[in-house]
Amino acid sequence: MRNRFILLFIAMLVLVTSLMYATRDYIIIGTTDKIRSLDPARCYDYFSSNILQNVLSGFVDYEIGTTNLKPWLAEKWEISNDGKVYTFYLRKDATFEDGTPITAQVMKYSFDRVIKLNGDPAFLLSDIVDKTEVIDKYIFRVHLKYPFSAFLSVLGYTVAYPVNPKVYPEDSFYELAPSASGPYRIKEWIRDVRIVLEANPKYFGEKPKTKTIIINFYENASTLRLALETGEIDVAYRDLDPRDILEIEKDPRFVVYKGESPQIRYIVFNVKQKPFDDPNVRTGLAYAVDRNMIANEVFVGLVKPLYSMVPMGMWSHEDVFPKRDLEKAKEYLSQAGYDENNPLKIDFWYTPTHYGSTEADVAQIIKESLEETGVIKVTIKYAEWATYVDYFLNGTMGMFLLGWYPDYLDPDDYVWPFLSISGAKSLGSFYENQEVENLMVEARKSSDVEERTKIYKKVQEILVKDKPYVPLWQGVAICIAKPEIKGIVLEPTQIFRYYTLYSK
Amino acid sequence: MSLKNYILTRIFLAIPMIIILLAFIFLILRIIPGDPVLAMLGGKAPKEVIEQKRHELGLDKPLVVQFLNYFFGLFKGDFGKSTLTGRPVLDELKERFPATVELTLFAFIIAILIGIFGGTEAAKQKDKAPDVLARFFAIFMYAIPIFWLGLMFQLLFGVTLRWLPVAGRLSPAIQFKPITGLYIIDSLITGNWKAFVDVIKHLLMPGTALGLVISSIFLRMVRNNMVLVLSKDFIKAAIARGIENKNVLYKHALKNALVPIMTVMGLQLALLLAGAVLTETTFSWPGLGSYLVLKIRYRDFPAIQGAVVFFAIIVVIISIFVDIINAIVDPRVRY
């Protein structure tokens, strides 16, 4: 009797599990990232934006797998000859999940709200936008303060996504789950535990391939890896330790996807601080840095050395920085008055957690590669992120590691924040060069890619001449999944689209 | 002094203590370099934007003004808003606290069971093999870093044996709706047995790891106190009167040995509630400990202050509770 009961139980268990797998219409993604805010007026971190990119819709989207813009909520647009007025013609079938239509009025409400609330990403709009105007129910116009050719790319970011006026209050941030207008809607959200997305029946575009996406949050890379190993999650996205990735690559139970990342890493020199105010010192150091060693040793070959601030794969990129050359390094340093008997003594700073656990190793390798010249003595120093920021804004640090993640995909976002006088101040390099500033303003006015490319090439030449920054490497986007999970596209835009995923 | 008066005095005295603590943490946060605006926007937004945001948060006001503003807000029950998420700190604490309570109580029960039974048995067989073993276990557990023990558990029970989930409070695919935030209770209320089993499975590893580590403190205390009590005359008398060994041990001796231990246990529980930080980060447990770690990284002043005040209040409440229980257990205790 008892045996029969056990047999029956096992049979039922098998049946239930097989049913579960047969009707699997969900995919589980694990991450160490966090959601801070799902209000586009406040959201300014990678993962929150990424959720919004899957549950909301914007004026423009990127063609899958590229950085080319395509119409989304805006069917078409016109740009005035002076480059200051943008008129958008909106599609008429777009609504939020409660049925509220997305009209020009909604667009105006959302734009004005972002600027009024002045949240973290608001400056991206308020710096450029002069005023907004409703021309017709479905025609929306934006007047810019100055011609800005990268404006459409800014509209591709979540800050410009419209919000439902019936849900999002005008004068305060909204901290609950957003009213969806994109491929997915939020079914359940337990903060820092999980978020469950399900296909939004009101979405005007293509239906998601998988009905439900569950995102589970983990505290650190090691737990994320364990969750992957135990099969608790189907996909691990952001972030695993590079060495773990190398091991997982050999494991047939998983597939490792690698994609371009627009993130760049670099050294900043405070050009107002001795001895880094001497261009010869900066050049000498730039020649001595060993990028290959960082890429191969720390990142086990996952990242690529970078020789310009404009990343590889983006138009106008040129490998302007010189390759490693210790003789040249010594030559420049001797011109600055340093040799074996009178070595250059410098402090070199990094921050231990903000860029992941690999940062200390990076700093160590840079120290070694500089000291290999025999004429440099490096002292490594570090500070936690909030302290670090304080230090570089105050000009305390002379040479330090930093990283950049673009707000919009345009070369402008890789030169203006670095080389403009105001930008350089907020990155701690305090670089000032009116010539380069004028060139960048000129490029902002032009919407001709060819003309802009020429200008950005000139800008990069000045960058390498003055070297307030030394580019080191370009990041890589990594995603690990079970082999049966298909449809993963690691976009150059970094938008991780859940609606293309499916389980085979 | 009656017990009632004593408790009132305790509460009265706790208020200045909490204020001093608050002032202290308030000051420390503002002395160390970095602030929430820098942590969030540093290196991204133009300097003017950063200055403006500081102004909005009142960070450019004199320290005294900032403190008084915050302090009077607290009296109205306003813990401020998190600078990281923009949500009221109190809401966030309420969300995180049940997770910590669940983990802590579970660990505490395990620790008490091991501590009391292990300690009593060790005392009974003083200097014999079980006692030596128990002492070794206590020292070993006391010395072991919890994150290491946690990792080993994860490797063994999670990856190799696949018995238990490695992290979090709930499996991703389990349907569940939190009500009280104590998932065990929530799953029982809703009759969601699948979730109940899942929640217990998730609780087992972090709870046991934490429980083992604190059990070492209890075990040693129970053992030492029991050894002391067992050598007393009244125990010898009890044995001489022919009372069963087990009764002597657990009824007569343990009750006497427990009084000083209770105080320690109470405080230990309070400390645990104040965030079993390492356990929570190791097991991705979304409680107050991991909350505090996250908030410190981003210099989320209101959240850190709120959490600290919250902890302080818990410690006060529990220590008063312990005093009451002590008075009940030991009639000799008078305040």
Structural tokens at position A371: 């000291």
- Is B82 within 8 Å of B295 (Cβ atoms)? yes
- What length is written for chain A? 504
Residues facing A87 on adjacent strands: A78, A141
Q: How far is CA A218 from the centre of its chain?
A: 20
Peptide bond into B286 cis (omega under 30): no
Interface test with B, best of A20, A193, A210, A418 (most B CBs within 10 A): A193
Degrees to nearest 5, angle at CA A227 with A221 and A233? 115
Is the backbone of residue A374 left (phi > 0), alpha (psi -120 to 50) or beta? left
Residue of A nearest to B88 (CA): A175
Written as one letter, the residue type at B267 is L
Interface test with A, best of B44, B170, B292 (most A CBs within 10 A): B44
Asked if A226 and B280 come within 8 Å (Cβ–Cβ), the reply is no
Residue B45, pLDDT > 80, answer no
Looking at residue B242, what is its pLDDT? Answer: 82
Q: What is A282-329 written as a DSSP string?
A: HHHHHHH--HHHIIIIISTT-SEE--SSSPTTSTT----SPPP-HHHH
The larger pLDDT score, comparing residue A356 to residue A26, is at A26
Interface test with A, best of B57, B183, B284 (most A CBs within 10 A): B284
Please state the pTM of the whole predicted model. Answer: 0.86
Nearest to A422 among B46, B53, B159 (CB): B46
- Is B186 within 8 Å of B178 (Cβ atoms)? yes
Rounded to a whole number of angstroms, the distance from the CA of A165 to the nearest CA of chain B is 19
Residue of B nearest to A30 (CA): B172
Average pLDDT over residues A236-254: 90
- Is B79 within 8 Å of B309 (Cβ atoms)? yes
Degrees to nearest 5, angle at CA A208 with A203 and A211? 105
Residue B301 has φ and ψ, to the nearest 5°, of: -50, -55
Output DSSP code: residue B248. I
Q: Does A386 touch chain B (CB under 8 A)?
A: yes
Confidence class of residue B319 from pLDDT cuts 50, 70 and 90? confident
Output DSSP code: residue A58. -
Closest CA to A158 of A494, A500, A499: A494
**B positions 39-98 inside 8 Å of A (CB):** 39-50, 52-53, 56, 84-87, 92, 95
Instruction: Show residues of chain A in contact with B285, CB under 8 Å.
Output: 219
Structural tokens at position A285: 């150091």
Confidence class of residue A21 from pLDDT cuts 50, 70 and 90? very low
Output DSSP code: residue A159. G
CA distances in angstroms from A304 to A260, A401, A479, A493, B216, listed in the order given: 10, 17, 17, 17, 50
Asked if B86 and A425 come within 8 Å (Cβ–Cβ), the reply is no
Rounded to a whole number of angstroms, the distance from the CA of B255 to the nearest CA of chain A is 42
Asked if B159 and A226 come within 8 Å (Cβ–Cβ), the reply is yes
| H helix runs in A176-237, sequence order | 221-229
Asked if B52 and A388 come within 8 Å (Cβ–Cβ), the reply is no
Asked if B39 and A386 come within 8 Å (Cβ–Cβ), the reply is yes
Asked if B167 and A226 come within 8 Å (Cβ–Cβ), the reply is yes
d(CA B21, CA B42): 30
Looking at residue B313, what is its pLDDT? Answer: 84
Degrees to nearest 5, angle at CA A388 with A384 and A392? 175
Asked if B286 and A37 come within 8 Å (Cβ–Cβ), the reply is no
Instruction: Show residues of chain B in contact with A46, CB under 8 Å.
Output: none
Q: How far is CA A109 from the centre of its chain?
A: 27
Nearest to A175 among B53, B85, B281 (CB): B85
d(CA B279, CA B274): 12
Span of A335-339, A495-499, B59-63 with lowest mean pLDDT: B59-63
Share above pLDDT 70 across residues of chain A, in percent, rounded to a whole number: 95
Task: Return the residue matching tokens 């981003």.
Answer: B298
Q: What is the pLDDT of residues A306-355, one digit of tens each?
A: 999 999 989 999 999 999 999 999 999 999 999 999 999 999 999 998 88
